[in-house]
Each structure stands twice: as structure tokens, then as C-alpha cells.
């Protein structure tokens, strides 16, 4: 950490599940509790079924909202037939963040060993909004937040972090690109 001032971000949390409700969404609760405890704002929270169009519609709506800086999804990253979150979001990433997946698997390996290969955690940028796709377990959400996102979404983190590059995420739009 440095002497920089903390910059709170506006973060939306999406749970992807056919069975979760607000009353039993432990993974969404984990993310909401951790991001607000860190000083960020919970911009919105929703639950959608494991359906490509429902996932995509919610994330795109948030990515088009200039008041939302980051979207974190939980669920739908496995290999069963209903797990489609990467299929919903990766095709619409303006930029894919391969390093997020690599680091997530590295920290996950320390906790659950080779079982980490059963996750397709991913990340990217959509319309100048960071999007992180986490597995649907509270443990994976804790690891993703505590060991990766809490530092990268903190302007005080050195040597670099996502907050300091946020003002330049939409440079491609000024060069004639098209928003989502």
C-alpha cells in the first residue's frame, strides 16, 4: 500500500443459478459483504438463470450504466450442460483478461488442488467496465475477492492496479470503436 487515497468503486454482483434465491444466495452474499467491507459500493445485485441471453442481458445493461465500474458474476463456470456463463460473456468481451483466469487457478490450486481445473473462471472488459466471472461457491468467491480482486480494485495497491487504468479503458471508443 502507498500514501494514495482509497477510491471507492461501484460494483454490481450477479449470481447465475437456476436454484438460488435472495434468501439462500451465499456466494452473492459473500461478494457483497466483502466489497462493501473494503469500502466499495454495491451498485446492484441480481440473480439470473443459467441462460446465455439472461446472463448477457444483465451484464450488458450494467456495462452500459456509466455509474457501474465493475461487474462480478458468480456461478455457471463448471462443465455441466447448464454452466454457460463463459459462453455468455467471453464473446462480448472487448478485451479478454487471461491473467485473471491464470491467477485464479493458481490461488485456487493452493486451496482445492487439481480440482481447480473444473472451473472456467474468466475476466474481461465490456464497454469500459471490468467483468470478473467466478465459480458459484462461497469459497471461490472468498478466494477471488480476498486474493485477487481486493488488491486489483484498490488504487493504493502497488506496483499497479485496475483503478489507475479505468480512465483509459474507453480510449478505443474515441478512435471510432463501437460500444456494446
pLDDT in tens, 42-73: 999 999 999 999 999 999 999 999 999 999 99
Whether the Cβ atoms of residue 145 and residue 155 lie closer than 8 Å to each other: no
pTM, rounded to two decimals: 0.94
> What was the pLDDT predicted at 128?
94
CATH of domain 10-168: 3.40.980.10
Q: How far apart are CA 173 and CA 96, in angstroms?
A: 17
Coil vs helix vs strand at 11? strand
**pLDDT tens-place values along the chain, 180 residues long:** 458 899 999 999 999 999 999 999 999 999 999 999 999 999 999 999 999 999 999 999 999 999 999 999 999 999 999 999 999 999 999 999 999 999 999 999 999 999 999 999 999 999 999 999 999 999 999 999 999 999 999 999 999 999 999 998 887 666 555 655
* C-alpha cell, 170: 474507453
Whether the Cβ atoms of residue 90 and residue 122 lie closer than 8 Å to each other: yes
Ordered by start, the domain boundaries in the chain are: 10-168
Amino acid at each position: 500500500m502507498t500514501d494514495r487515497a482509497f477510491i471507492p468503486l461501484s460494483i454490481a454482483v450477479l449470481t447465475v443459478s437456476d436454484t438460488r434465491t435472495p434468501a439462500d444466495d451465499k456466494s452473492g452474499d459473500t461478494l457483497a459483504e466483502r466489497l462493501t467491507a473494503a469500502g466499495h459500493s454495491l451498485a446492484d445485485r441480481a440473480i439470473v438463470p443459467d441462460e446465455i441471453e439472461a446472463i448477457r442481458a444483465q451484464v450488458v445493461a450494467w456495462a452500459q450504466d456509466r455509474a457501474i465500474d465493475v461487474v462480478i458474476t458468480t456461478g455457471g463456470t463448471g462443465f455441466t450442460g447448464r454452466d454457460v456463463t463463459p459462453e455468455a460473456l467471453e464473446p462480448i468481451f472487448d478485451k479478454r483478461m487471461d491473467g485473471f483466469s491464470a491467477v485464479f487457478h493458481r490461488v485456487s490450486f493452493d486451496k482445492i488442488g487439481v480440482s481447480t481445473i473444473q472451473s472456467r473462471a474468466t475476466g474481461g472488459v465490456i464497454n469500459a467496465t471490468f467483468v470478473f466471472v467466478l465459480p458459484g461457491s462461497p469459497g471461490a468467491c472468498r478466494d477471488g475477492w480476498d486474493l485477487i480482486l481486493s488488491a486489483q480494485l484498490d488504487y493504493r495497491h502497488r506496483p499497479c492496479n485496475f483503478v489507475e487504468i479505468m480512465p483509459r479503458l474507453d480510449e478505443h471508443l474515441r478512435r471510432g470503436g463501437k460500444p456494446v
